Structure 1
Amino acid sequence: MSLTRNQMEATAEEHRAHLDATGLTYADVLADLEWDSRRLAATLGGNDSTDPVDAWELRDYLVAAVRDRGVHVEPYSVLTDANKQRATQWFDLRAAPRHDFG
């Protein structure tokens, strides 16, 4: 499953909207996902070097964080639950950690 340029841009915007809604900092995300800043920037930027597995992991992490914060954000338009089922056929997706808002 590869994304078009428009789909990558939409996904990047949706990642950023979800991140903004959570109130999490980049440092929070980096610590929770155990990523470096280059990897997070590439995934948030939705560029051609983005690892699809990272995009899904970030999506799952942010969806859970939005839910845990009790805020509403428009759902992902490309990284949908149905597309996640398809993505599991091509990629070895990782379970995303959850942020402790406690």
Structure 2
Amino acid sequence: MADNLDVNAGSSPAQVWLLRDFLEQAITDLGGTPLPFTVLTDRNRQQSEIWFGPRSVPSTPRREKKG
């Protein structure tokens, strides 16, 4: 997991994309607005899907707010 967060030589490109999508989905599901990525862009997604195939990310589990 740390390799994918660091995006270093040990990273799996497919896992980096899945992590990007998961984080973006989690932020959206929790009512936030994700910041744009500089390299993992929608344009680069098309190329990644050619290399790794399309992938889907499950929705973020809802947590009850405390208080």
Q: Specify the SS of the correspondent of 1:100.
A: coil
Question: 1:17-58, CA deviations, whole angstroms, 9 ceiling, x for partnerless residues?
Answer: xxxxxxxxxxxxxxxxxxxxxxx1110111111000000101
Equivalent residue runs for 1:41-56 within 5 Å: 41-56=2-17
User: How many percent identity over aligned positions?
Assistant: 37
Larger RCO of the pair (alpha carbons < 8 Å, separation 6+):
1
Question: 1:66-101, CA deviations, whole angstroms, 9 ceiling, x for partnerless residues?
Answer: 111112332111111111112111113432222212
Return the letter of the residue paired with 2:52.
F
Q: How many residue pairs end up in the alignment?
A: 63
- Which ranges of structure 2 fall in alignment gaps of 5 or more residues? none
TM-score normalised to structure 2 length? 0.79
TM-score normalised to structure 1 length? 0.55
- Which ranges of structure 1 fall in alignment gaps of 5 or more residues? 1-39
* Bigger share in helix: 1
Return the letter of the residue paired with 2:57.
A
Structure 1 residue ranges (4+ consecutive) displaced by more than 2 angstroms after TM superposition: none
